[in-house]
């Protein structure tokens, strides 16, 4: 039995695709009115156009959800730490982070937040290129499942793979979670470039040099470079920097155009840019694109200043 904690776009999509495959799934939301509506009309406004299968149970009872052997944590990264600290002590079983980011308070990834709050649990993460709408439509999708406990990783891979959702497995949790977190920052930068009319060539340059700085930090934190070259890093970087289905990319577009953006939309890369700028500065790892994105979002620099600061860096070997 699988519990999905968080009925946003991603949690709902995972719950739907797993339930359609005949797996026992319970979807938990904190908002009782949302739970009642999902039960009544078998739809969720967070994922428009998708019908919830009849065999998908929906609940507002967190204690019941937390008793399941596999729990998918589908909350934004910045909400996860406080949520788990309040609710998670005592939770055991396989706890799978389904979010992408670096926590601003601890400068750690989602699995470290699980370890801190739920010492009896086995932490894992699912990440990689996938839009919730694509997963829910049953379009083919491949993701990375990272877990240091091999037996739990094998079990999760089996439990969560479906006819259209293919999971690859790795023990490199640090690499997988950093790939997913850092690509969102580069996607904001890519959006800025396109929004400001700086051209496709500049976007390709930013993606490539962005990837270089993703790998640099990941290696410094003990990850394998190969993991960054996989679905969770390179794969998701390509998707998120090139599609305006991405909220991070669209946020960047708005920044580049000098327009506002709906603050209620989940844009993980914004907080992660701040967190990673602090983290990398503390470690002495150069991440110029990430630093520029953080400064742009804070309003400390303009787009022309951001462009100038990247182009005027000392010339170097690739």
Ligand X SMILES: O=C(CO)COP(=O)(O)O
Residue 183 annotated in active site: yes
Sign (positive or negative) of CA dihedral 73, 5, 82, 150: negative
Neighbour-count burial of 221, counting CB atoms closer than 10 A to its CB (0-12 exposed, 13-18 middle, 19+ buried) = middle
- Residue with Cβ nearer ligand NDP (170 or 184): 184
- Residue with Cβ nearer ligand X (57 or 250): 250
Per-residue string for binding with ligand X, 196-235, x by CB under 6 A?
Answer: ----------------------------------------
- Residue with Cβ nearer ligand NDP (81 or 202): 81
Segment interacting with ligand X, rule: CB under 6 A, options 28-36, 86-94, 198-206, 244-252:
244-252
Positions in 19-58 near ligand X (CB under 6 A): none
State the minimum distance, in angstroms, from the CB of residue 92 to ligand NDP: 20
CA distance 73 to 131: 17
Does 130 interact with ligand X (rule: CB under 6 A)? yes
Does 240 interact with ligand X (rule: CB under 6 A)? yes
CA distance 152 to 124: 9
- Residue with Cβ nearer ligand X (243 or 305): 243
CA distance 158 to 205: 38
Q: What are phi and psi of 57, to 5 degrees?
A: -90, 145
Does 190 interact with ligand X (rule: CB under 6 A)? no
Residue closest to 2 by CA, chosen among 171, 13, 14, 10:
14
State the minimum distance, in angstroms, from the CB of residue 308 to ligand NDP: 31
**Footprint of ligand X on this chain (CB under 6 A)?**
100, 129-131, 184, 187, 236, 239-240, 246-248, 268
- Binding site per annotation, positions for NADPH: 10, 30, 100, 132, 247, 268
Residues classed as catalytic: 183
């Amino acid at each position: 039995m699988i519990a999905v904690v968080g009925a946003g776009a991603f949690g709902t999509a995972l719950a739907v695709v797993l339930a359609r495959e005949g797996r026992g799934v319970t979807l938990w939301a904190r908002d009782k009115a949302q739970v009642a509506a999902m039960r009544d009309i078998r739809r969720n406004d967070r994922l428009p156009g998708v019908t919830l299968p009849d065999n998908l149970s929906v609940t507002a009872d967190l204690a019941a959800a937390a008793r399941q052997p596999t729990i998918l944590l589908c909350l934004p990264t910045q909400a996860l730490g406080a949520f788990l600290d309040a609710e998670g002590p005592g939770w055991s079983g396989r706890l799978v982070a389904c979010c992408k980011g670096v926590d601003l308070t601890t400068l750690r990834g989602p699995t470290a937040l699980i370890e801190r709050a739920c010492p009896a649990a086995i932490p894992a993460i699912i990440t990689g290129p996938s839009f919730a709408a694509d997963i829910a439509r049953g379009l083919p999708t491949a993701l990375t499942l990272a877990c240091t406990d091999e037996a739990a990783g094998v079990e999760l891979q089996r439990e969560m793979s479906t006819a259209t959702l293919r999971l690859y497995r790795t023990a490199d949790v640090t690499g997988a979670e950093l790939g997913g977190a850092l690509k969102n920052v580069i996607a904001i930068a890519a959006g800025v470039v396109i929004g400001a009319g700086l051209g496709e060539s500049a976007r390709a340059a930013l993606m490539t040099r962005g990837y270089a700085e993703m790998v640099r930090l990941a290696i410094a934190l003990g990850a394998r470079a190969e993991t960054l070259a996989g679905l969770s890093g390179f794969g998701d970087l390509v998707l998120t920097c090139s599609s305006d289905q991405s909220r991070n990319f669209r946020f960047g577009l708005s920044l580049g155009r000098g327009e506002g953006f709906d603050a209620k939309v989940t844009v993980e890369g914004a907080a992660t840019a701040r967190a990673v700028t602090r983290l990398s500065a503390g470690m002495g790892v150069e991440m110029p694109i990430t630093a520029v994105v953080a400064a742009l979002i804070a309003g400390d620099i303009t787009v022309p200043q951001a462009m100038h600061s990247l182009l005027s860096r000392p010339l170097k070997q690739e």
